[in-house]
Amino acid sequence: MLKTFTSALVLLAASLLASAQPPSFDPASKVFRLDGGGVSYAFGVNSRGELQQLYWGGRLAATDAFPQAAPMPEWASFDASYTNTPQEFAGWGQGLYNEPALKVSFPDGNRDLVLHYQSHTAIANGFEVVLKDISRPIFVTLHYAIDAESGILSRSATIQNKGTDAVTVEQAAAAAWTLPPAHYTLNYLTGRWAGEWNLTQEPIHPGARVLESRRGSTGHQANPWFAIQTGDANEDHGSVWFGALGWSGSWRITVEQDQLDEVRVTGGFNPFEFGYVLHSGEKLETPIFYGGYSPDGLGGASRLLHRYEVKNILPRTPDTATAAAPKPRPVIYNSWEATEMNVNEAGQIALAEKAAALGIDRFVMDDGWFGKRKTDHAGLGDWYVDPDKFPHGLKPLIDKVHSLGMDFGLWVEPEMVNPDSDLYRKHPDWVLNFPGRPRTEQRTQLVLNLARPDVRAYVLGFLDKLLNENDIAFLKWDYNRNWSEPGWDQLPANEQKKVYVEFTRNLYGILAELRQRHPKIEIESCSGGGGRVDLGILRYTDEVWPSDNTDSFDRLTQQDGFSYAYPTQVMLAWVTDTPNWLNKRTTSLPYRMLSSMQGSLGIGANIVKWTDDEHATAKRLIAAYHQVQPTIVQGDLYRLISPRNNSEFSATQTVNPAKTQSVVFAFIHSTQKGRGFPTLKLQGLDPAAVYALSPIEGKARAGSPTVASGAWWMNHGLDLDQDFRGDFQAAAFRLDKK
């Protein structure tokens, strides 16, 4: 015991020392080095003056030194040295055939851009490196920072025109990452409305795989995250490089195996339809591209990313401003599936009374409370309380919710307008449109052009007023369509494409301003489910709605996919009624509860109609959830058995950072040929500690121990009840250190 303790201390001291290594620049070799967690990253200025990538992977010794970067040779007469050399941020010029990081056109017709190192500044945990075109006053400042704990890098670029004539930026990435030649598998997330978060895996071949959104927002169809694993890596072992882009507008990540078999990952603004005019002195800031490395498989990669996101990305409220992490989310009730737009004071109060009795922390009224919102054909844009539904305003409902011991949240969709609204009748020019062309409606709504200063002021103004006049703790911020006809006719024709940047910047600006004026407000990012989830919006929103698909079985694979990129802390999961509206599937309440308890729990059923039995089951499980929620949502997640590929079984386990508590969830899709549930070999526990097992739902195998060492639970494993068989079955357990 003493020996384990001492060696743990030695390891801790070693890792602290290693983590403390400050970023370095060696003037002799012109090599920059960043070290953090288990990761080293190095790049240098080569003999031509280009910034060249040297290394990204497991932590090197502090004494290891890189020689100066040497440009790659020409490959016959077809691939010049410039295109073969893995640059940190290559301008399109000089015969570059791979994906450029930056492409600029000048008013005299020149489109050649070659960026060379100029200078750098050391900052606390990284560098700012300035590049300049070989002859023109186009400057690029590359921002690098490494997180000492996880080794996750954040990279972005600021492009500045210091010339007198305006130039047009046609393509701008945040960063390019390079991996050495090897056999790799690419992991990425794809989907559609109500079908988000499918983990897609494929070998990387020569050529490019483009992950993108051209929709004006993040999108359901692809998510700005990737992970690349070596051929021998899997969930638990092997090298994985991963990255995520912090941008909620049109984005693109290109994964390219080049002519010399190196893999380059370039990501930033989507170059499709891009054109950002920089007048003399003006700058363009790219989004941030985060990147990390884990030697511990996809599981290790997502655990690093989760910790980083929870600590460094998510916004804080005053009570958690200096805490290591934000608070676990309140358990919410949401009215959408119960009442849809038929909301009114009496109906919502009836739901709130039931919700409070279940042990719910927050009551959220969804769509339908404003304007002439009887259906989705009208009302968006008119953010006044509907006097027919709420004759005395929202106050009586909010007061009632408070008196029941819950706080109050409200649904809004600020960036949208229905043509049938007072706002549109007054300001038809406020929507994205090309004058004289059709305005394509989706869900009978149009997109307000948030890039316009007047629209920005309107949206900020009504939200601020809503929060000033009502005691609202939480906004569910929805966004229910993608762009079409994205014109911005206030600007000259050659500048209108700025909408792709300014819209999203204004969205972030409004969110930041609202949070500043109302420091306690919490916000959910929803876009018809998971259409706007990325590390850009997560700087301003506390949680996300991953999908409108609330089928508890489908949610298992969606939650699995989501967990590769984003933490459980932000992953809302409601328990809704059965049969499910989408799949018409019938499942038991414990199964639905446990599926949602894998995330940040909510209830979205018509609880007024629940039987006493259902009420008692939900109440019991909500109480059990409250006790272990920090471990579930902020602990280390181990995907023990994936539900993907029609797996008969699935299981997850979370362990709190102190390794004093663990929670296990197990699900059966449908038992086949009498097969029992496999023994679950747990992970991440302290092998020397003793843990007591207690069921949250279901039973362990009769006769198996309930108190055993971490070593037992990890090596021997947890055996579930022999009778744990059937269709849509679920069990959950907690282990507490004795």
Select from 85-93, 194-202, 522-530, 723-731 the region that touches ligand GLA (CB under 6 A).
Answer: 522-530
Select from 424-432, 521-529, 618-626, 639-647 the region that touches ligand GLA (CB under 6 A).
Answer: 521-529
Measured CA to CA, the distance from residue 251 to residue 482 in angstroms comes to 14
Among 178, 266, 480, 541, binds ligand GLA (CB under 6 A): 480
Nearest CB to ligand GLA, comparing residues 478 and 560: 478
| CA terminus-to-terminus distance, the chain | 16
Residue 526 lies near ligand GLA (rule: CB under 6 A): yes
Dihedral sign, CA of 580, 586, 589, 595? negative
Residue, CB closest to ligand GLA: 367
Find the binding residues for ligand GLA in span 656-715 (CB under 6 A).
none
Nearest CB to ligand GLA, comparing residues 574 and 728: 574
**Contact yes or no for 435/489 (Cβ under 8 A):** yes
Residue 382 lies near ligand GLA (rule: CB under 6 A): no
Select from 47-55, 127-135, 523-531, 580-588 the region that touches ligand GLA (CB under 6 A).
Answer: 523-531
Contacts of 433 (CB under 8 A, 6+ apart): 439, 446, 485, 487, 489
Bond prior to 579 in cis (omega within 30° of 0): yes
Among 262, 361, 382, 478, binds ligand GLA (CB under 6 A): 478
- Minimum distance between the CB of residue 610 and ligand GLA, rounded to whole angstroms? 20
Residue 540 lies near ligand GLA (rule: CB under 6 A): no
Among 367, 502, 636, 697, binds ligand GLA (CB under 6 A): 367
Nearest CB to ligand GLA, comparing residues 54 and 526: 526
112 included as an active-site residue:
no
Give the active site residue among 478, 636, 686, 719: 478
Please identify which residue in the block is written with the tokens 């002439």.
372
Beta strands in 71-125 (DSSP E): 102-105, 115-123
Query: Residue 1: is it exposed, middle or buried by C-beta count within 10 angstroms (0-12/13-18/19+)?
Result: exposed
Q: What type of residue sits at position 696?
A: I
**Number of residues binding to ligand GLA, judged by CB under 6 A:** 11
- Minimum distance between the CB of residue 337 and ligand GLA, rounded to whole angstroms? 8
Among 545, 553, 649, 733, binds ligand GLA (CB under 6 A): 545
Contacts of 96 (CB under 8 A, 6+ apart): 82, 83, 90
Please identify which residue in the block is written with the tokens 């070998």.
203
Q: At what angle do helices 297-308 and 552-565 cross, to 10 degrees?
A: 80
Measured CA to CA, the distance from residue 721 to residue 693 in angstroms comes to 13
**Up-side HSE of residue 498: CA atoms within 13 Å toward CB?**
22
Find the binding residues for ligand GLA in span 607-646 (CB under 6 A).
none
64 included as an active-site residue:
no
- Minimum distance between the CB of residue 416 and ligand GLA, rounded to whole angstroms? 10
**Contact yes or no for 2/105 (Cβ under 8 A):** no
Among 23, 271, 529, 698, binds ligand GLA (CB under 6 A): 529
Residue among 252, 260, 305 nearest 86 (CA): 260
Among 216, 528, 599, 602, binds ligand GLA (CB under 6 A): 528
Nearest CB to ligand GLA, comparing residues 188 and 336: 336
In sequence order, the β-bridge partners of residue 117 are 131
Nearest CB to ligand GLA, comparing residues 477 and 712: 477
- Minimum distance between the CB of residue 367 and ligand GLA, rounded to whole angstroms? 4
Residue 363 lies near ligand GLA (rule: CB under 6 A): no
Residue 565 phi, psi dihedral angles, 5° rounding: -110, -30
Strand 474-477 and strand 407-412: the pairing is parallel
- Minimum distance between the CB of residue 242 and ligand GLA, rounded to whole angstroms? 27
Contacts of 308 (CB under 8 A, 6+ apart): 147, 149, 150, 152, 290, 292
Measured CA to CA, the distance from residue 303 to residue 341 in angstroms comes to 39
In sequence order, the β-bridge partners of residue 474 are 409, 522
DSSP-assigned letter for residue 194: T
Find the binding residues for ligand GLA in span 399-458 (CB under 6 A).
411
Print the binding letters for residues 147-166 with ligand GLA: x by CB under 6 A, - otherwise: --------------------
Nearest CB to ligand GLA, comparing residues 528 and 710: 528
Among 56, 241, 336, 503, binds ligand GLA (CB under 6 A): 336
Select from 179-187, 525-533, 588-596, 695-703 the region that touches ligand GLA (CB under 6 A).
Answer: 525-533
Give the active site residue among 361, 367, 542, 548: 548
DSSP-assigned letter for residue 312: I
Nearest CB to ligand GLA, comparing residues 100 and 602: 602
Residue 548 lies near ligand GLA (rule: CB under 6 A): yes
Measured CA to CA, the distance from residue 594 to residue 628 in angstroms comes to 13
**Contact yes or no for 371/385 (Cβ under 8 A):** no
Nearest CB to ligand GLA, comparing residues 88 and 196: 196
User: Phi-psi bin for 624: left (phi > 0), alpha (psi -120 to 50), beta?
Assistant: alpha
- Minimum distance between the CB of residue 336 and ligand GLA, rounded to whole angstroms? 5
Query: Can you count the helices (H) and strands (E) in the chain?
Result: 13, 36
Nearest CB to ligand GLA, comparing residues 381 and 635: 381
Q: Which are the catalytic amino acids?
A: 478, 548
Residues that bind ligand GLA (CB under 6 A): 336, 366-367, 411, 478, 480, 526, 528-529, 545, 548
